[in-house]
A = this chain, B = another copy of it.
Amino acid sequence: MIIKNADKPVLILDVNRCKRNIERIAAKAELHNCEFRPHFKTHQSKIIGRWFRESGVTGITVSSPEMAHYFAEDGWDDITIAFPFYTAQLKKLKELEKLCKLRLFVTSEKDLAILDKELNNPFTFMIEVDSGYGRSGLPYTDKEYINSLIESSKSLDSNMFKGFYIHDGRTYSARNKNEIISAIQPSLYALEDLKKHFPEAKISIGDTPSATVLDNLDFADEITPGNLVFFDWMQVQIGSCSVNDVSLFAQLPIAQNKPNNKNVIIHGGAVHLSKDFIEKDGDKNFGQVVNYFQNGKIEPIEKSWLTALSQEHGTLNNLPTDAKDYITVIPIHSCLTANLFDHYITTDGQRIEKRVLS
Q: List 28 A-B contacts (CB under 8 A).
A: A7-B88, A8-B358, A63-B312, A64-B312, A83-B255, A86-B253, A86-B254, A86-B267, A88-B253, A88-B325, A107-B256, A134-B263, A135-B310, A136-B255, A136-B313, A139-B259, A270-B274, A274-B275, A275-B336, A311-B335, A311-B336, A311-B339, A340-B357, A342-B357, A342-B358, A356-B356, A356-B357, A357-B357
For the complex, give the distance between the alpha carbons of A27 and B84 in Å.
48
For the complex, give the distance between the alpha carbons of A180 and B66 in Å.
43
A243 adjacent to chain B (CB < 8 Å): no
For the complex, give the distance between the alpha carbons of A283 and B63 in Å.
27
A41 adjacent to chain B (CB < 8 Å): yes
A295 adjacent to chain B (CB < 8 Å): no
CB of B63 within 8 A of CB of A7, answer no
A308 adjacent to chain B (CB < 8 Å): yes
Given A255-B136, A336-B275, A358-B342, A313 and B270 touching (CB < 8 A)? no
Q: By the criterion of a CB under 8 Å from any partner CB, how many residues of chain A are at the interface? A: 54
Which residues of chain B are near A335, meaning CB under 8 Å?
A: 311
Question: 1/0 contact trace for A91-103 toward B, CB 8 Å?
Answer: 1100000000000
A265 adjacent to chain B (CB < 8 Å): yes
Which residues of chain B are near A92, meaning CB under 8 Å?
A: 7
A210 adjacent to chain B (CB < 8 Å): no
CB of B7 within 8 A of CB of A135, answer no
A11 to chain B, nearest CB (A): 11
A80 adjacent to chain B (CB < 8 Å): no
CB of A336 within 8 A of CB of B41, answer no
Query: How many copies make up the complex?
Result: 2
The 5 closest A-B pairs by CB, nearest first: A275-B275, A84-B256, A84-B255, A7-B88, A136-B265
A357 partner, pick from B84, B271, B276, B313, beta carbons under 8 A? B271
CB of B65 within 8 A of CB of A7, answer yes
Which residues of chain B are near A136, meaning CB under 8 Å?
A: 255-256, 265, 313
Measured CB to CB, the nearest residue on chain B to A358 is B342
Name 11 extra pairs, CB < 8 A, besides A135-B310, A357-B357.
Answer: A5-B88, A8-B358, A41-B312, A64-B312, A83-B255, A86-B253, A136-B255, A270-B276, A270-B336, A275-B276, A342-B358
A182 adjacent to chain B (CB < 8 Å): no
CB of A91 within 8 A of CB of B7, answer yes
A320 adjacent to chain B (CB < 8 Å): no
A315 adjacent to chain B (CB < 8 Å): yes
Which residues of chain B are near A356, meaning CB under 8 Å?
A: 342, 356-357
For the complex, give the distance between the alpha carbons of A6 and B66 in Å.
13
CB of B313 within 8 A of CB of A83, answer yes
A329 to chain B, nearest CB (A): 17
A315 partner, pick from B134, B255, B275, beta carbons under 8 A? B134
A313 partner, pick from B135, B253, B263, B342, beta carbons under 8 A? B135
A300 to chain B, nearest CB (A): 23
